[in-house]
Amino acid sequence: MADWNRDVVEARIQEAADVLKRLPEERVRGFFNTWPDMMVEFSDMVGRAGEPMKRPPPHPGAISRMEETLTWSKYLEPDDARLLWARADGMPWKHVCWRFGMARATAHRRYDYALCLIAWQLNGRQPPRKRSRGFVVERVRSLSR
């Protein structure tokens, strides 16, 4: 993809977080169950809450995109990467602010900057060292218009 923008990067990161949730859990090798499956009758199920349906495992293409997306954290400072993944994982802004000890506006600015910095570097540019974070955000937004 040649033209990366903030919205595309955000969608890919959210997809990667969703794929990580849907991967099968890791099991310890060598242990197994010899008990037979329990036969459940209708009378046993009366009054019980139904089990939540599990989502299917992710598609191999989605797993490949997730692996590529996980490497994008190298473009960010560790705190910005943690904030980005916490938000992609669905953590509400209030909890993000409590966890990172910052105001809502500051957390949103850092989140926005992290997405724009990833888009900036995926487009083959080096981040400017003597410019503000706002410069990178405005340039990426102006390119996506």
Q: Is the confidence at residue 1, as pLDDT, over 60? A: no
**Does residue 136 form part of some domain?**
yes
Closest C-alpha among 113, 93, 112 to residue 103:
93
Indicate whether 50 belongs to any domain: no
Under DSSP, the state recorded for 129 is T
Neighbour count for residue 28 (Cβ, 10 Å): 5
In a domain, 71, yes or no: yes
The whole-angstrom separation of Cα 68 and Cα 46 is 47
Altogether, the residues listed in the chain come to a count of 145
Model confidence at 44, pLDDT cuts 50, 70, 90, reads: confident
Torsion of CA 67, 70, 72, 77, to 10 degrees: -160
**Contact (CB, 8 A) for 54 and 21:** no
Give the domain extent around 93.
6-22+57-144
Percent of the chain with pLDDT over 90: 57
The structural domain count of the chain equals: 1
Q: Is residue 52 part of a domain?
A: no
User: In the 3-class helix/strand/coil scheme, how is 94-109 assigned residue by residue?
Assistant: HHHHHHHCCCHHHHHH
> How confident is the model over 107-116, as pLDDT tens digits?
999 999 999 9
Residue 72 lies in a domain: yes
Answer whether 100's CB lies under 8 Å from 79's CB. yes
H-helix segments, the chain:
6-22, 42-45, 60-70, 78-88, 93-100, 104-122, 133-144
pTM of the model: 0.80
